[in-house]
Amino acid sequence: MFDFVFAGLGNPLPEFVYTRHNIGHIAIDKLIKHYNIQYTLKKPLFKAGEITLFNKRICFLKTRTFMNESGRSILKFISSYNVSIEKIFIIYDDMDLPCGKIRIRKRGGSGGHRGMKSIIEYVGTNEIPRIRIGIGRPPENINPVDYVLTKFTEEEFNVIEESLKLLPDIVETIVLYGIERAMSKFN
């Protein structure tokens, strides 16, 4: 049904909206706004909007489970819409990248990210394309689990906003030319 799916990870409750761990949700909201579409597919485990770009059906999806249960959302979407996991690009936060840095990969482990760990466990493979967005390392006195649930500082959010402006170009490069071209252009 869909040629490409861009799925943002995050936590569903309002208090998590602008936290570091919700960068995937923030990214999808930006794409939905950029392409002037709505969330028309609203299910218990995810919500999504769709658009046709370059004669390809594209879906922008936000998980509606807590981060450590992201695999439930993705597996439900796969089974509901018969989409191959290789067509789903997972967008999520990465503490090992500087704030705002974007990395695109074809596959890989979870890197300790609980959302990716859940997806890998639920779908049974790590051959999952991903777009990681850096949130930076926590200060030494802050536990990483607590850090990802904090909000960005104003300065950090400005950096994130600038990075997210690249997302439509990343999406269109992937759709038109493939992930390899996107990796060489944006990594």
Residues annotated catalytic, as ranges: 21
Reduced to 3 states (helix: H, G, I; strand: E, B; else coil), residue 106 is coil
What is the spatial distance between Cα 136 and Cα 84, in angstroms, rounded to a whole number?
31
Contact 133, 93 (CB under 8 A): yes
d(CA 64, CA 77): 11
For residues 71 and 128, what is the distance between their CA atoms, to the nearest angstrom?
Answer: 12
Q: 50: which strand partners?
A: 59
Task: For tokens 């704030």, name the residue.
Answer: 99
Instruction: Spell out the residues 6+ positions from residue 184 whose beta carbon is closer than 8 angstroms to its own.
Output: none
Task: Give the DSSP H/E element, type plus range, for residue 116.
Answer: helix 114-123
Distance, CA of 47 to CA of 40 (rounded, Å)? 7
- d(CA 80, CA 84) in angstroms, rounded, equals 11
